[in-house]
């Protein structure tokens, strides 16, 4: 049975573990099954979150701009004269962070010769024999062969190798490394690279609210 087969035992049907060129000839990247379809929440969360955040940014920028009165009523001229620039800078910073989180695809493991090969025997034989759709539904993730710890584990849904700490997100339906959590507001996985963006986004929002309060009091 395929389930009892050693993932990396010698087989006349399959290339050697290190012979990536032969693997690519046998099961070319373009011939692999497509990546899993995104969960509907992936689109719903990002659309809803983006709408809320854009509305919040526009609201804060407008509030500061509209609350700046005539100079003779200013209580703190330095702030009042620069409040528009400050809130616009915060809006630009927040927008940049949102764009990186939404479109940066940070941490996502992409298919390539180095990430897809070698393919564990159970998966490879299913792809060659019973059809592409059978591969992901009848196998479990496979740990690296002895002596190849750098490969990590093989995800049978994405059909690629990822770091041992890699994670397959059930909403994004992609494997990511350095995973922290899935953000239900923006509909994206937050990883080590985007944690700074998330923090900056939160700080920008707090400073924006603070800027509105100062403008209301001083201008």
Cβ neighbors of 10 (< 8 A, separation 6 or more) are none
**Residue 84 pLDDT > 80, yes or no?**
yes
Assign 35 a pLDDT band (cuts: 50, 70, 90): very high
pTM for the predicted model, two decimal places: 0.85
| Cα(217)–Cα(109) distance, integer angstroms | 49
Position 69 confidence tier, pLDDT thresholds 50, 70, 90: confident
pLDDT of 167-199, one tens digit each? 999 999 999 999 999 999 999 999 999 999 999
pLDDT at residue 36 above 70? Answer: yes
3 state DSSP class of 104: coil
β-pair partners for 168: 175
Q: Is 173 exposed, middle or buried (0-12, 13-18, 19+ CB in 10 A)?
A: middle
Q: What are phi and psi of 175, to 5 degrees?
A: -90, 135
Closest among 178, 210, 211, 181 to 198, alpha carbons compared: 181
DSSP state of 175: E
- Nearest alpha-carbon partner for 32 in 121, 105, 128: 128
At 180 the three-state DSSP class reads strand
pLDDT score of 150: 82
Q: What is the mean pLDDT of residues 7-13?
A: 68
Q: What DSSP string describes 132-160?
A: HHHHHHS---EEPPTT-GGG-EEETTTTE
Number of Cβ atoms within 10 Å of the Cβ of 120: 25
Mean of all residue pLDDT scores within the chain: 88
Q: Which residue has the tokens 């990546």?
A: 35
For the chain, give the longest Cα–Cα distance.
Answer: 88
Token pair listed for 179: 């995973």
Contacts of 156 (CB under 8 A, 6+ apart): 123, 135, 136, 139, 140, 141, 142
Cβ neighbours, 10 Å, residue 174: 23
- Cα(87)–Cα(75) distance, integer angstroms: 19
Confidence of residue 29 (pLDDT cuts 50, 70, 90): very high
């Amino acid at each position: 049975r395929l389930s009892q087969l050693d993932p990396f035992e010698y087989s006349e049907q399959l290339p050697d573990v290190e012979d990536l060129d032969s693997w690519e000839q046998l099961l070319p990247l373009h011939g692999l099954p497509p990546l899993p379809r995104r969960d509907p929440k992936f689109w719903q969360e990002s659309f809803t979150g983006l709408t809320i955040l854009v509305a919040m940014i526009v609201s804060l920028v407008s509030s500061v701009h509209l609350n700046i009165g005539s100079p003779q009523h200013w209580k703190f001229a330095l702030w009042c004269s620069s409040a528009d620039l400050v809130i616009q800078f915060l809006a630009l910073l927040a927008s940049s962070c949102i764009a990186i989180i939404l479109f940066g695809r940070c941490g996502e493991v992409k298919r390539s010769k180095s990430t897809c090969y070698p393919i564990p025997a159970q998966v490879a034989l299913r792809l060659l024999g019973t059809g592409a759709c059978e591969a992901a539904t009848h196998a479990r993730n496979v740990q690296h062969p002895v002596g190849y710890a750098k490969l990590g584990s093989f995800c049978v849904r994405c059909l690629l190798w990822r770091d041992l700490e890699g994670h397959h997100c059930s909403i994004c339906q992609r494997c990511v490394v350095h995973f922290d959590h899935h953000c239900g507001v923006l509909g994206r996985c937050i990883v080590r690279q985007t944690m700074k963006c998330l923090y900056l986004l939160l700080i920008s929002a707090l400073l924006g609210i603070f800027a509105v309060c100062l403008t209301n009091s001083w201008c």
